[in-house]
Amino acid sequence: MEFDASRPIYLQLLEDFKVKISTGEWQAGSKIDSVRNLASLYQVNPNTVQKALAELERAGLTETRRTAGRFVTDDQNLISKLEDNSFYKIADDFISGAESLNLKKDEAINQLKKYWEEKND
């Protein structure tokens, strides 16, 4: 992962971890790798990883079990909300971009459909 120097690394890690949960890469109820291993994988300080994981736990997306480690929540409603929020962020970016091009809603949706079909053929 390449980090944006203008934003705190722990926030970028937090976003990446949320994506991993919302896409199922980190499945509900699954054990999360150790702080040390994640720090090594992302090539960041373990304290930075710990800070991002603490934010996940505060949001209820993970839980720490004594002597067993940290796990992704089993709460499917919470995971569904995370998935929705991930989609809404992408949709907001799309809408903002379309508006900056002065496209009306129908024009933007038609362009998206056309592009989507071309890309997936």
- pTM across the whole model: 0.81
Instruction: State yes or no: pLDDT of 115 exceeds 90.
Output: yes
Q: Strands 69-72 and 62-65, how do they pair? A: antiparallel
93 lies in some domain: yes
pLDDT tens digits along 92-106:
999 999 999 999 999
Residues 15 and 53 in one domain: yes
**DSSP secondary structure of 49-78:** HHHHHHHHHHTTSEEEETTTEEEE---HHH
Residue 2 inside a domain? The answer is: no
Q: Is residue 108 part of a domain?
A: yes
Q: Can you give the pLDDT at residue 73?
A: 97
Domain of residue 103 covers: 77-119
- Does 54 lie in the same domain as 20? yes
Residues 68 and 41 placed together within one structural domain of the fold? yes
The 10s digit of each residue's pLDDT in 14-61 is: 999 999 999 999 999 999 999 999 999 999 999 999 999 999 999 999
Residue type, 52: A
